[in-house]
A and B are shown apart, each in its own frame.
Chain A
Amino acid sequence: MKKLFLTIMPLFLLPLALMAQIRVEGTVVDSHDYPIPGVNVYIKNTTTGTITDINGVYTLTGVAPDAVLVFSSVGMKTQEITVNSRSQLNVIMEDEIAGLEEVVVIGYGTVKRRDLTGAVASVKNEDLTMAPVSNAMEALQGRVAGLDITRASGRAGSEPEVLLRGNRSLNASNAPLYIIDGIPGSIATINPNDIESIEVLKDASSTAIYGSAGANGVIIVTTKQAEKGTVQVDINSYYGVNGFASYPSALQGQAWLDYLGEGYTAAYGEPAANRNDLLTAYSLTPTQLNRYIENGQWVDWVDETLRTGTQQNHSVSIRGGNETTRAHFSLGYTEEKGIYKDDKTEIATMRSGVEHEFRDWLSAGIQTSLAWRDRNVRGSRINSAFSTVPLGEVYDAEGNINIEPIEGHSTVNLLADEVPGAYKNNAKQIRVTANPYIDIKPIKNLSIRSVLGTTLTTQRNGEYNSDRTYMKLIGSGGQVKTASYANSLSYSYTWENIAHYNFDLAEGHNFQLTGITSWTNSQNENGYAYNEGFDYDEFLFYNLNAGNNPSVGSGYSHTKKMSYAGRINYNYRGKYLLTISNRWDGASQLADKWHAFPAAALAWRISDEDFMAGTNSWMTNMKLRVGYGVTGNANINPYVTSTEVQSSDYNLTLGSAQSQVYIPTQAVGNPFVGWEKSYNTNIGLDLGLYNNRIEVVFEWYNTDTKDVLFNRPLPSTSGVYGPKSTYNMMSNIAEINNQGIELGINTRNIINRQFNWESMLTFARNREEVKSIDLGSNIEVDDLIALNLFMGHPVNTIYGYKKLGIWQANEADEAARYGREPGDVKIATVEQFDEEGNGDGGVHEYSANDRQILGSLSPDWTLGFQNSFYYKNFDLNIFATMRWGQMLDADLMGYFTYGRVNLPSNYDYWTPENPTNDFPRPNILGNNNDVALRSLRYVDGSYMKIRNITLGYTLPDRIGESIGVRKLRVYSTVNNPFIFTKSDLLKDIDPEAGGGDTFPLFKQVIFGLNLSF
């Protein structure tokens, strides 16, 4: 209350201030009594101010005797001191402790951290920009307990995958809702330097106010806004080099010949008589290959393909304002050149905003952004190295790519797409948002904001494939030049009205009421044009009418959503806090359109109770939070409620002209499809110890998601969409439970003037479990393999063959009982029973019946551990993440097939002399339908990774001040420097990417600069 008093009082005193003015001076020091230069000192509610000099001294003239002076400095607690006619005011600044007074953004409002009732994590700009990223979400990796962020691909411009507290949905998106400055938006096109803070709303009591789409958590992004009375310019820039991709090469040289030889020996019982026989046995022509072997012309296709990429990001922003008008403007540019040639993304962004106060009760403003993305994409061919003869000449004598690296042989150069004119795939996107708003304060304590969020996205995808692309040269696709040009236009608007009303009912009883209406209308249109048979590469996709076999297409989709919501916040003396809210949502995609999403939360600041007085010396803060809420999810494609008729994807002519084909849509209409609902309970405990030098946040949660939406494949005997795809029906099919704990610990281990050491640890453990599966018509089953759903197991369960190892030479007799020989893969079997119930003890030929549950793609737990060291002006930050207990279904582990012409070099295969348990014995005549081979893909993917190490140096303030610089920091970051995997099979594979075989992750070295003045 005192604070409120302090805030309001100057307003009443303002007239008095005009009467007499005095001069105030003083010295500002820190807790160790050292003077602090560069502290902002200004008279509250004015633009009059100064900064302290090198000795911490300031002087202000024209100060009203009852004015309030504000002292602020980065990293320090802001202080407000009433002058009280004093002419000498010395101030001791305190280090800012991750403060309880800090303002946290929540749904449709803000609260102080001390008044939070829900599970909300907050990340500030400093943490986002300490180690540079191109997508802001990457900077959150490991920093928010329960928010699992991975990058699945090393493709330039690829976006990280974000999952909060496990999978709740099957088909509806599991992606969280991003709210950018109050309006749903996309984080991908925001320059991280423009972000002031990111808040992660984890529990339903916080997210239910967003109703639908809040089920997967809400990530609120607040961009930097101007402040009154200051002008600030920020320049941020970094440049980085990407390389050292985690990817195995293919066998070459003697290792390759040994591999071929082993396959021959295994097949025919004796080594090949000579190399010619050996090559012939693999359908390789010795006369073609011999000279390359003899000349030692081996090719490492992985090495030839991968190159050093670069990444850079530059941004400049200017912010400032006066009493009535504030404005900000920023420009950003990001470029990523991938580790493949022609894999490149450029993003240019512009953001601006202006707000003007017309009257005390009326202000209005607009926030706009414009993002331009230009992206060249290409296919990955490096996995073809594992099926390519590692011989030949990659380049010809003139240095051009040699399409046929082995003269006369069908091997196609893996770099064929890089030949000028061969291939081009470019996407350009413009995304414009303009969010005008108006704020009205018609009566005291009531404020109403009406905001219109508009988004316009237009994209063009052009693709040109000459007749000499890699795929065409290897024979997939006709040898004809093809080109396509696709456009899309998405336009949507959200109109929201938000009313806040504050009042005190009696002493200490504070109420805040919030009412919301929201209407969203989103439409998408797209067009597609294709032609083929061009004469010239030079046309690319810009002269489609020069082809001879055109085809076209177009499409449209539309969704709408209407919502009403209300919320009551009640606060008794800051000790007891209560939030109750409800939201009614209607979504056009569903048959059962409307649903209510209530929520309530209670918080108790135990440390404020009198009986806790004895602990105040060491326990700064203790708060218990309990919340319950319901959220919904309707993030599915439209048009699933009724079966419609479309034209077929396939052309047909039964005679000479085209025969038009009209077929029912693949989505079989479900007239009962309704909301997916998540019922969440969250219990949280916040602790602050020793003046908040140790802060602990603990959360326990339980989420039951019912009526989970799933686009389930229908049994083919009832009807099937086509030879290769089933009909699907969007259904409310399952119940999934997620239960977990999250722990966040922030500690300041050492604080002194010269050296600071801070640590941050996040830990999250989530158990995900399918609780029921309902196929409709009251048919419940324990598992439905087609849906990969198994009762009592997580959503991303791996159901397959369990590898035990390799049958060893001394196990020949035992192996024979399973129809196997030494050197074959040994898997665990499942006992089979005959009609009389007699079991076979698990001894039988391996078959599909031996599949079992092996684990899950989701980790048992994740951990983030950050240590920051500050010595004088240097900062060092080491950040580690761990994901433990996850399985991988790794493409890169699945390349062992019999008789193939090459293998990844990290496969340790069995031979009589090398009795490994990793990979089976090569054999030209081996049976590739041996189901046991499929067990090789599954591997324990637990890992620990040093995510990044950053070393920075900040120019001392006194030097900066002398050259007019507020802040100057230079830094260098190393990303992904060290990876430790639990399984030694994962050599040369980064498990974060899930064992994918196309665009590997890489290491990165970055140099950067942060400059403010």
Chain B
Amino acid sequence: MKKSLFNIGLAALLTAGLLSSCELDETNYSTVSLDLAYKNREGFEGLVNACYIDNYFLYGKMDGIAPMEMGTDLWVNTGNNQAGYVLYNDDLNTTTGTLNVLWQSLYSTINNCNTVLYYADEVEGYTQDELNAKKAEAHFLRAWANFHLVEQFGDVVLNTQSMIEAGPLVNPTRNSEEEFYELIFSDLEFATTHLPINQVDLGRAARKAAYGLLAKAALQRTRLGEESVYAQMALDAAEELIENREAYRTDLYQSDNAQSGFAKVWAGENNKDNEEALFVQVIDHAGALNPEGWNRGRTRQYFQADTRTVGEPWGTVERSRIMGRANSRYYKPTKHLLTEIFEPREDTPDTRFESSFFIRYYATEEKVITEDMANQFDKDPSLIGHTILSTALKGSDERVKAANYYAGIGWADNAKYEGFVNLDEGLSMFTPNWNIDPAEKRMMPFLVNDPSDIFDAQGNYIQDASRREVYPSLSKFSNITYAYTEQYHMGNIAYMRLADIYLVAAEAAVLLNQQTKAADYVNAVRKRAALKDREDEMVVAAAEVDIDFILDERARELVGEQWRWYDLKRTGKLNSAYLSATNPAITSFNSELHLKRPIPINFLNAISNANEFGTNGY
């Protein structure tokens, strides 16, 4: 009754013309529907491209460097940052922020790849071959992400369905590591079949990437048993690539008498189109069309020695375009890396130490050695009053001066400007990995830290703050050609290199008792580490090549390239005996716990069965 009364009243009002406007559907100009986007070529390829983005958050970034490179025989921490990954202390727990980024990056890639594969059935405008080539990218990247996921976190959730298709699952369950590898291998089988050999875009996965990953994943799978089956799979994949390297458009740089092949890998002029790179993070250095724009390439700064405080009286500067900025210093090399993995000798044929580390630091300001400095660093009194010359550019233009002040443009720019000085006269710090005779050291007019200055008898860094923070700094991810500011470096990053695959082949061959073959692959890598005329000094005999030797060789070749933790895990070296022998700072390694990372709390907080799922023991 009441309602009808209302309706009469309402009807009267509605005749005022209101009826026409009561549709309540939404208009949204800033998005398009899933079907419109992904069933057509442009949108579908935009989705394939999305699968590449997450890798930009793991390479050149703390969030990937710490879990992939640290906690090994190569590095100790400076200060507390990421100490959990380095030392396996209680800093590494479910709430560690970088852990969540790692986890989410990997699951993000996996979901995007799943979405590509879901829409691949419906997208229009492709021939079957074209479509397979795009699908192959998704299969490859899904394998890539699952490989990292299973190695870092173990038996977690293996997801093969897109969120679009399956919706959110709030009570997920675990899958075995073997199941992970099954999917990785089937994805890579598709990728090695269908990925183009030559991609127009350098950053897009080509077939060489799929073979590279297949070799690495198969070798890694040996840790779960059926060693010979998977060693053979690894060797086959590696040899496919090595033997047909020209066809797959890759090769090792070879040495000449001026520069070793290894040095060429890291030379600025080879950065953007690197022959050895199998899969690469392309950085736009001109227009910053990168995830997070210019905020790229900070790897070098995490490994930097203290040029800001200790080096300052000697003329070094906190901000230098070639070295990066010394305000986020996290990692320094172990004594094991400096003196056992690399040969601690001045004139080794192996150029890899000097091509991988800064050991000479130059003054950007004229400095006079004072009595205090001489006393503190054990210098001969005759050096008091000695002037260390500035190597910084000297421009007359005011704007250049300002740029120099704020950007800290370093010695390498000198050639372009007036005021060039002999670099030796501007040397302010020197950090060789070989010990120098103390008498000789006293007479050197610059700060010298050799291993005897920075390590105690146990192989730990000494306490003296003025000494312990000056050490060789990783230089692989820095060259002046692509230095943008003292923070950002716009060089490409090779995720995977051919030299790595040579060493994978060698390791697989050792597991299959093919010593000679193993030595051949090892020597191929070793020889080009020397200048052409000293290659012969690098050759090792087949008998010397065993797993331990290859592991050291991998460190020499790949230090800093975010593979070391996997290498130790695969070869069973993630144990307290090996770690304490090579890296005495690690005192709390627990092999029950630390072979897998904690499950991030953000994920556990979002599911309904967190207790059942568990934290991986943390």
Q: Which A residues contact B (CB, under 8 angstroms)? A: 268, 277, 280-281, 283-285, 287-288, 408, 410, 448, 450, 467-468, 473, 475, 478-480, 495, 497, 499, 501, 513, 515, 517, 519, 521, 549, 554-562, 564, 566, 568, 580, 582, 586-589, 593, 638-639, 641-648, 650-655, 658-665, 668, 712-727, 729, 775-777, 779, 781, 784-786, 819, 845, 847-848, 898-899, 927-929, 931
Instruction: Tell whether B418 is near chain A: CB-to-CB under 8 Å.
Output: no
Stretch in B167-175, B440-448, B543-551, B557-565 touching the partner: B167-175
Contact of A285 among B49, B53, B312, B484 (CB under 8 A): B312
Instruction: Tell whether B407 is near chain A: CB-to-CB under 8 Å.
Output: yes
B34 A643 Cβ-Cβ under 8 A: yes
Given known pairs A723-B105, A784-B606, A786-B606, the reply for A655 and B204 (CB within 8 Å) is yes
Closest B residue to A649 by beta carbon equals B291
Given known pairs A479-B407, A651-B289, the reply for A645 and B9 (CB within 8 Å) is no
Interchain CA distance A343-B284 in the complex, whole Å: 37
B156 A717 Cβ-Cβ under 8 A: yes
A280 B27 Cβ-Cβ under 8 A: no
B166 A718 Cβ-Cβ under 8 A: yes
A668 B26 Cβ-Cβ under 8 A: no
Q: Least Cβ distance of B599 to chain A in Å?
A: 10
Contact of A714 among B168, B292, B294 (CB under 8 A): B168
Contact of A775 among B38, B294, B488, B608 (CB under 8 A): B608
List B148-202 residues whose CB lies under 8 Å from chain A. Answer: 156-157, 159, 162-164, 166-172, 200-202
B291 A652 Cβ-Cβ under 8 A: yes
Contact of A779 among B27, B45, B83, B171 (CB under 8 A): B171
Given known pairs A549-B288, A651-B290, the reply for A499 and B485 (CB within 8 Å) is no
Most interface-central of A284, A554, A558 (chain B CB within 10 A): A558
Interface string of B77-91 (1 = CB under 8 A from A): 001100110000111
Q: Which 8 A-B pairs have the closest CB atoms?
A: A662-B46, A719-B163, A655-B201, A719-B111, A654-B203, A644-B31, A786-B605, A645-B37
Interchain CA distance A213-B36 in the complex, whole Å: 34
Contacts of A899 in B (CB 8 A): 79-80
Instruction: Tell whether B465 is near chain A: CB-to-CB under 8 Å.
Output: yes
Instruction: Tell whether B362 is near chain A: CB-to-CB under 8 Å.
Output: no
Instruction: Tell whether B30 is near chain A: CB-to-CB under 8 Å.
Output: yes
Closest B residue to A773 by beta carbon equals B608
B169 A718 Cβ-Cβ under 8 A: yes
Instruction: Tell whether B340 is near chain A: CB-to-CB under 8 Å.
Output: no
User: Could you show 19 A-B contacts with beta carbons less than 8 Å apart?
Assistant: A268-B463, A478-B485, A497-B13, A499-B12, A515-B10, A556-B29, A645-B34, A650-B290, A651-B284, A652-B52, A659-B201, A715-B603, A716-B600, A718-B168, A720-B107, A726-B602, A775-B170, A847-B93, A929-B83
B14 A848 Cβ-Cβ under 8 A: no
Interchain CA distance A329-B49 in the complex, whole Å: 59
Contact of B53 among A468, A652, A781 (CB under 8 A): A652
A645 B290 Cβ-Cβ under 8 A: no
Given known pairs A285-B313, A549-B288, the reply for A517 and B18 (CB within 8 Å) is yes
Contact of A729 among B29, B110, B111, B168 (CB under 8 A): B168
A638 B164 Cβ-Cβ under 8 A: no
A653 B606 Cβ-Cβ under 8 A: no
Given contacts A664-B163, A719-B162, A929-B80, 5 further A-B contacts (CB under 8 A): A479-B407, A479-B485, A556-B28, A661-B50, A662-B46
B90 A929 Cβ-Cβ under 8 A: yes
Closest B residue to A788 by beta carbon equals B605
Interchain CA distance A651-B288 in the complex, whole Å: 8
A928 B80 Cβ-Cβ under 8 A: yes
Contacts of B80 in A (CB 8 A): 898-899, 927-929
A727 B163 Cβ-Cβ under 8 A: yes
A515 B484 Cβ-Cβ under 8 A: no
Instruction: Tell whether B54 is near chain A: CB-to-CB under 8 Å.
Output: yes
Interchain CA distance A478-B13 in the complex, whole Å: 61
B164 A650 Cβ-Cβ under 8 A: no
Given known pairs A285-B309, A515-B10, A715-B169, the reply for A647 and B163 (CB within 8 Å) is no
A655 B282 Cβ-Cβ under 8 A: yes
A639 B26 Cβ-Cβ under 8 A: yes
Q: Least Cβ distance of B379 to chain A in Å?
A: 16
Q: Least Cβ distance of B407 to chain A in Å?
A: 6
Contact of A515 among B6, B52, B603 (CB under 8 A): B6
A560 B24 Cβ-Cβ under 8 A: yes
Instruction: Tell whether B32 is near chain A: CB-to-CB under 8 Å.
Output: yes
Closest B residue to A473 by beta carbon equals B406
List B279-313 residues whose CB lies under 8 Å from chain A. Answer: 282, 284, 287-295, 306, 308-310, 312-313
Interchain CA distance A643-B165 in the complex, whole Å: 11
Instruction: Tell whether B255 is near chain A: CB-to-CB under 8 Å.
Output: no
B21 A662 Cβ-Cβ under 8 A: no
Contacts of B127 in A (CB 8 A): none
Contacts of B30 in A (CB 8 A): 554-557, 646
Most interface-central of B203, B308, B309, B327 (chain A CB within 10 A): B309
Contact of A847 among B63, B90, B325 (CB under 8 A): B90
A848 B601 Cβ-Cβ under 8 A: yes
Contacts of A721 in B (CB 8 A): 108
Most interface-central of A287, A719, A819 (chain B CB within 10 A): A719
Q: Which B residues contact A (CB, under 8 angstroms)? A: 2, 5-6, 9-10, 12-14, 16, 18, 21-34, 36-38, 42-43, 45-47, 49-50, 52-54, 56-58, 63, 79-80, 83-84, 89-91, 93-96, 101, 103-105, 107-108, 110-112, 114-115, 156-157, 159, 162-164, 166-172, 200-204, 282, 284, 287-295, 306, 308-310, 312-313, 318-319, 325, 327, 406-407, 463, 465-466, 469, 484-488, 600-608, 618
Closest B residue to A501 by beta carbon equals B9
Given known pairs A479-B406, A644-B32, A718-B159, the reply for A660 and B46 (CB within 8 Å) is yes
Q: Least Cβ distance of A589 to chain B in Å?
A: 7
B24 A562 Cβ-Cβ under 8 A: yes
Contact of A648 among B50, B308, B407, B465 (CB under 8 A): B50
Interchain CA distance A495-B37 in the complex, whole Å: 37
Q: Least Cβ distance of A131 to chain B in Å?
A: 44
B104 A557 Cβ-Cβ under 8 A: no
A720 B47 Cβ-Cβ under 8 A: no
B204 A654 Cβ-Cβ under 8 A: yes
Q: Least Cβ distance of B266 to chain A in Å?
A: 22
Q: Least Cβ distance of A933 to chain B in Å?
A: 12
Contacts of B94 in A (CB 8 A): 848
Q: Least Cβ distance of A329 to chain B in Å?
A: 31
B465 A280 Cβ-Cβ under 8 A: yes
B157 A723 Cβ-Cβ under 8 A: no
Q: Least Cβ distance of A775 to chain B in Å?
A: 5
B327 A410 Cβ-Cβ under 8 A: yes
Contact of A588 among B25, B63, B310 (CB under 8 A): B25
A588 B485 Cβ-Cβ under 8 A: no
Interchain CA distance A277-B467 in the complex, whole Å: 12
B170 A715 Cβ-Cβ under 8 A: yes
Contacts of B602 in A (CB 8 A): 713, 716, 726, 786
Interchain CA distance A651-B2 in the complex, whole Å: 60
Interchain CA distance A586-B25 in the complex, whole Å: 10
Q: Least Cβ distance of A961 to chain B in Å?
A: 50
Contacts of B16 in A (CB 8 A): 450, 497
Q: Least Cβ distance of A371 to chain B in Å?
A: 28
Given known pairs A479-B406, A644-B33, A715-B607, the reply for A727 and B168 (CB within 8 Å) is yes
B93 A848 Cβ-Cβ under 8 A: yes
B488 A478 Cβ-Cβ under 8 A: yes
Q: Least Cβ distance of B165 to chain A in Å?
A: 10
A717 B157 Cβ-Cβ under 8 A: yes
B168 A722 Cβ-Cβ under 8 A: no
A644 B34 Cβ-Cβ under 8 A: yes
Contacts of A658 in B (CB 8 A): 289
Interchain CA distance A364-B310 in the complex, whole Å: 81
B108 A720 Cβ-Cβ under 8 A: yes
Closest B residue to A268 by beta carbon equals B463
A659 B309 Cβ-Cβ under 8 A: no
A650 B292 Cβ-Cβ under 8 A: yes
